[in-house]
Structure 1
Amino acid sequence: MRTRRLCGLTLVVLAAHALAWQLAIGGWPALAPARAGVHRVVLLSVQARAQVPLTSSDAAAEPAHAAARARVTPAPRAGDGGALRHVPRDAQAWPVYATRAPPSASLRYALVQAGAAASSAGVAELEWRREADAFSLRLATAVGDKPPREWQSTGTFDAAGVAPLRLVEREKGRDRRTVSFDRERGVVRFSGASGAPAVAAGAQDRWSWIAQLAAIVEAGARRGQRSTHWDLQVAGLRGELERWTFRVLPTGDPPPELRRQGNELSASGNRAPALLHLLRDPEQPYDLRIEAWLSPSLHHLPAGLRMSTPPGPWSMSLWLRNS
């Protein structure tokens, strides 16, 4: 009796192993059609995909791949020609200020320029022209027997304010150097340097910053806002792209050079106009140091400018004349 039971148990175990083997290699064997009224549940075996261990480089890249798969590409915006506008990597580092561009104005200045040998006096004219969607800023200087020089910045307006497109430096009526902005691609190009570095919204050229700073301060003043400093990205004529931070200095009397011009800004003491005194400190030797006295009566265009490159001997000052 025991022998029969053992034999039966052995046959059951062998049958179970045979069935498991059949499932592993090909699934359930074909079954005869079910009779009417009989429901049969059929199990299908699905072969699992072989798992390949990740290498160290693959493992490191896997999160990036997952993020790329999950990222949704935004649709092109109208007017972009089917392509997304290039955004500079450091665009988030530059603030975008509210602006109110000053109306058109023509200002004449007494000019004093100093160098290693001596200083020279002359005149300068700042011509600012504002239209509906375009601007022109021209600064012309004449000092002693030196050839007259001028700089002309032209451009448009956008959400960040004054948006220069081209700056031209001229001497003896000939173009010497240029700075050109490609606002759609967010880059700037220089005639005197290679490459096209990225620029942020609100970037200015070597002279358009005068109008942009006036527009920023004017907008803040109308809102009753008082800031301690403003940051501008400025492209120079020699291929430099710099951060210019203008700090607000304590209010005081107008500088003596300005008071000597004999206009409404020549008063002192309690009668002195409330000029906004700003300073841009150089960030390295021979970098540009700028003092600016902005006049509310001029919609915060400068009544005075003093520029130098310490520790070098060069300096240039502009003082508003009695027109």
Structure 2
Amino acid sequence: PVANTVQEDLPQYRTEIPPAMSLHYHMHRGALRGTGELTWRPGAKGYVARLEGRIAGFSILTWVSEGGFDAAGLAPVRYTDKRRGKSELAANFQRGAGKITFSGPSTEYPLLPGSQDRMSWMIQIAAIASADPKRLSTGARLAMYVVGARGDADVWSFRVQGTEEVATGDSPVQAIKLVREPRKPHDTRVEVWLAPSLHYLPVRARLVSEGSALELLMQRAQPAS
């Protein structure tokens, strides 16, 4: 079935794609403590963005977004979500057919310009900020259509809350905080801190869904090999 899509017009932003980076985080998932690594590799033929979370040596989650670039910035083609003990799920952005389909649910969504997945939005929001830092003025709003691997899709509307100091592993970093408030009861609440000194990539993030929180706090960053 084709699901209803959003009823609001979403802006198309200018973007400046960040260079290849590898960000290492402390990761909290509920009471569990571990590490996370976000690897961003853009290239002439497209990109791969990957976040892997590990606890006690075991991989507990792996999010991978692969795609290319278009006038709206990142243009995902496939997003996979693998969690420990569960089957991998995928969202497929069928650009030729103009629709988004899933490996599990039979739901389909129209493929809107600028649509992102639950991995690529972290890079897309950095690319928007890099192209026009004034978009991160306190009180400003950024909005994008974000798709998960479980048949979920919605507008993520972020409000800019201002600059805060984030205590990363290397040294304190000035970062701009944005918050996405849930629109419906089971929506994900998102807080993200973007560092101008790191091409606006996230030095801290907190995602809360149905009472479960995933938190990332950067310890170090380096150019991706």
TM over 0.5: yes
Q: Which amino acid aligns with 2:91?
A: V
Unaligned regions of 5+ residues in structure 2, if any?
none
Partner of 1:239: 151
Mapped pair 1:314 → 2:221: no
For 1:154, the equivalent position in structure 2 comes to 66
- Distance in 2 separating the partners of 1:194 and 1:89: 15
Identity rate of aligned residues, in percent? 34
Aligned residue number for residue 15 of structure 2: 99
Instruction: Give the superposition deviation at 1:264.
Output: 2.1
Say if 1:156 and 1:253 are closer, same or farther in 2 by CA, change over 3 A: same
Structure 1 portions without partners, runs of 5+: 1-87, 266-272
Deviation at 1:225, TM superposition (A): 5.1
Counterpart selection for 2:37 from 125, 136, 148: 125
Match status 1:298 vs 2:212: no
Output the aligned Cα RMSD: 2.3
Q: Aligned partners of 1:231 and 1:168: how far apart in 2?
A: 22
Counterpart-to-counterpart distance in 2, 1:291 and 1:157: 25
The 2-side partners of 1:181 and 1:162 are apart by 12
Which runs of structure 2 are paired with 1:97-246 in the superposition (5 Å)? 97-114=13-30, 119-144=31-56, 147-171=59-83, 176-221=88-133, 224=134, 226-227=136-137, 228-246=140-158
Give how far 1:317 is off.
0.4
Structure-2-length-normalised TM-score: 0.87
* Shift in alpha-carbon separation, 1:264–1:179, aligned structure 2, 3 A: same
- Greater strand content: 2
Are 1:263 and 2:170 an aligned pair? yes
1:127–1:202 CA distance, 2 compared to 1 (3 A): same
Larger radius of gyration: 1
Instruction: Write the distance in 2 (CA, Å) between the matches of 1:89 and 1:172.
Output: 31
Q: CA deviation at 1:143?
A: 2.1
Contact kept? 1:150, 1:169, Cα under 8 Å:
yes
Provide the TM-score with structure 1 as the length reference: 0.62
Work out whether residues 179 and 191 of structure 2, in 8 Å CA contact, stay in contact via their aligned partners in 1.
yes
Instruction: Provide closer, same or farther for how the CA distance between residues 124 and 147 of structure 1 changes in structure 2, counting only shifts above 3 A.
Output: closer
SS in structure 2 opposite 1:194? coil
Select the structure that is richer in helix.
1
Task: Report deviation, 1:262.
Answer: 3.3
Please tell me whether residue 287 in structure 1 is matched to residue 187 in structure 2.
Answer: yes
- 2:132 aligns to what SS in structure 1? helix
CA distance in structure 1 between the aligned counterparts of 2:87 and 2:214, rounded to whole angstroms = 22
Q: What SS class does the counterpart of residue 165 from structure 2 fall into?
A: coil
